[in-house]
Amino acid sequence: MRAFIFPGQGSQAVGMGQALFDASPVAREVFGEVDEALGQNLRRLMAEGPADALTLTENAQPAIMANAIATLRVLVREGHVTLADKADYVAGHSLGEYSALCAAEALDLSTTARLLKLRGRAMQAAVPVGEGAMAALLGADVEKAQVIAGAAVDSILAEGGEELVCTVANDNDPSQVVISGHRVAVERAVALAKEMGARRAVLLPVSAPFHCALMEDAATAMEAALADADLRAPLVPVFANVDAAAVADAGAIRRLLVEQVTGRVRWRESVLAMAAAGVTEFVEFGGKVLSPMVKRIVPDAEAISVVTMDDIEALLKRM
């Protein structure tokens, strides 16, 4: 059994998608449709930068999706295959869940692009710049990371400070967990991490504290947007971030996407659940971020990254 998986924020880079654009009219069609839906030349920004503009959440999210869907559609159309025949499940990391839903035709491409543009803007606006932060704890599992986050909040309270948010945002793999919340609390957690058993703690270069309670306003905005979106049952079930379980009902997917804004990305559990369901091959489209995580979660699984035309041709030979 095979799962198609789609990366999240952090996988963007200037030049992304350019080789596909040059090589394939199918890819050009995808990028053109996204540009038209957004009313901006996102493809040029992806190709030429500047990097700081591409990294802006409202640009990075639709750009990563566009690159992943372009890669998949080249495989499907030029390889004359169908997703439903070649994949048993789809899944994505954070914004990658929208890519997965687009891949499985639960959302059309234009709608997906507009939802991600709105999602990026809403997440950025939810917390004033500088008040939130995220950090990666390396060499710490999810239980240890939550203890470290809690200790940071408790130590600030013990000093007479107010109760702040600091919690696990992304359970990526057995050795990499991301925490999110108020900057003061996250920085305190980073300072405590090594003495509490983490190998290393690193503040992430992000502009907002994603996947925590501080994103409540963004969740409200997405609830309104998703209520109006044409969202259908996917061709194959999607493993949702917030409950690490397969779902195929459009109403349930809509609800889970809203919960995802403030909820934990349970990627490690999702991969374990897919493996338990029989998945032995994971194919990542448009990035090389999730595949190494998969190997750390399920060492016996096949994990393949598909980014270039050569990668697409190699995958077609495997199928």
Question: Across-strand partners of 303?
Answer: 282
Using alpha carbons, list the distances in angstroms from residue 283 to 63, 137, 202: 19, 26, 28
CA pair distance 196, 312, nearest whole angstrom: 44
Whether the bond between 25 and the residue before it is cis, its omega within 30 degrees of 0, is no
H-assigned helices in 9-141: 18-23, 25-38, 42-48, 51-55, 57-73, 83-86, 96-103, 109-126
Q: What is residue 163's DSSP assignment?
A: P
Residues marked active site are found at 94, 211
CA pair distance 11, 101, nearest whole angstrom: 18
Long-range CB contacts (< 8 A, 24+ apart) of 154-160? 155/188, 155/192, 156/184, 156/185, 156/188
